[in-house]
Amino acid sequence: MSRIIFIDAHRVEQLLDYPDLVAGLKDLHQADMDVMEDLLLEQPGATGTATHFFFRAAWQRHQAMGVKLVTIFPDNPGATGLPAIQGIYVLFDGSDGSLKAVIDGTALTWRKTAADSALGASYLAREDVEHLLMVGAGAMAAPLIAAHRAVRPSIGQVSIWNRDSARATKLADALSVSGVKAVATTDLEAAARQADIICCATRVTTPLIKGEWLQPGCHLDLVGAFTKTMREADDEAMRRGNIYVDSRKTTVGEIGEILLPMEAGVITEHDILGDLYDLCRNTVAGRRTRDEITIFKNGGGGHLDLMTAEILVSRIENDA
């Protein structure tokens, strides 16, 4: 029986630096994923806030397969001090089904999600972007900022908006200590109108970002929505922007960000110009002009968790 590797959060963060992880995800998008399936369960929490239990599985035949079990309890940080997102990832060998690794699912999710957006930005954001607006100051905010700065080191200013302005200030102060020029803002519209990249990681069902705010050349990275009722950008944003997704399978018909404007007749499936498989294989163009507005819907998916787990375990095995 092969040795099972147990990987905690610290080791995930230590081994998965963003430049290498983004490069690894780009390479792994050259091959198709044979099977990937999601199961999302929902129940009201103690305060009425929706809580979720998420199963994300993927199988690349003869190579690897894995499943992530994740709980999403939005009230946790204020009520219990626990993270809103908690989970575990289990990786199996795709050729013989043997168990290879058990990985901290929270840390894997943060790294994977941030690298997913950064990979999209590497194709879609202008190379000289300077101002990043982070909408939302939850647990995903800091990883997303770090990942975007890894692929676009020209970013010199970070603005942070959150409904609870104290959380935005706390995050800005923490980033400033680490050398990032970060400020909290209470004026979302003004910050959005000035930003070169807008990254949203919220759980809203009423859009926060209005298309009329987007300046020419802006890149809009939409991360937070993961159910059929959630969306962060309005219809006008979807009309104005050139739309890309990380995977058609996990976004089209699955997530409100894409589903709702399609149902309203604002966009059609033909308006989605490509996904990461297309971009990484150079079968579709990314940003084509300096002034175009690009939109990337980060929908996640078990295929990305599996890729990230494979990259992580291969680094450990190569160092052994």
| Domain co-membership, 44 together with 120 | no
Tell me the residue ranges of DSSP E strands in 9-156.
35-44, 50-60, 64-72, 85-93, 99-104, 131-135
pLDDT at 97: 93
pLDDT at 320: 62
- Give the CATH number for residue 280: 3.40.50.720
d(CA 299, CA 150): 21
pLDDT at 46: 84
| Domain co-membership, 207 together with 190 | yes
Tell how far CA 194 is from the center of its chain: 22
3-state secondary structure of 47: coil
Residue 4 DSSP code: P
**Cβ atoms of residues 91 and 12 within 8 Å:** no
| Domain co-membership, 217 together with 74 | no
What's the token pair of residue 206?
């009423």
pTM of the model: 0.93
Please choose, from the candidates 218, 145, 209, the residue with its C-alpha nearest in 3D space to the C-alpha of residue 182.
145
| Domain co-membership, 130 together with 273 | yes
What's the token pair of residue 47?
């305060």
| Domain co-membership, 309 together with 286 | no
d(CA 131, CA 255): 28
pLDDT at 2: 65
| Domain co-membership, 153 together with 268 | yes
| Domain co-membership, 262 together with 133 | yes
| Domain co-membership, 70 together with 201 | no
| Domain co-membership, 206 together with 90 | no
Give one DSSP letter per residue of 155-212, joined into a string.
--EEEEE-SSHHHHHHHHHHHHHTT--EEE-S-HHHHHHH-SEEEE----SS--B-GG
Per-residue pLDDT of the chain (320 residues; tens, 9 = 90+): 468 899 999 999 999 999 999 999 999 999 999 999 989 899 998 888 899 999 999 999 999 999 999 999 988 988 888 888 899 999 999 999 999 999 999 999 999 999 999 999 999 999 999 999 999 999 999 999 999 999 999 999 999 999 999 999 999 999 998 888 999 999 999 999 999 999 999 999 999 999 999 999 999 999 999 999 999 999 999 999 999 999 999 999 999 999 999 999 999 999 999 999 999 999 999 999 999 999 999 999 999 999 999 999 999 988 86
3-state secondary structure of 79: helix
3-state secondary structure of 17: coil
d(CA 55, CA 40): 6
pLDDT at 305: 97
- Give the CATH number for residue 14: 3.30.1780.10
- Per the structure, the complete domain to which residue 159 belongs is given by 114-300
| Domain co-membership, 99 together with 155 | no
What's the half-sphere exposure (Cβ side, CA atoms, 13 Å) at 19?
4
pLDDT at 122: 98
Number of separate domains in the chain: 2
Backbone angles phi, psi at 30, to 5 degrees: -75, -20
| Domain co-membership, 232 together with 104 | no
CA angle 196, 198, 202 (to 5 degrees): 175
pLDDT at 13: 95
| Domain co-membership, 218 together with 118 | yes
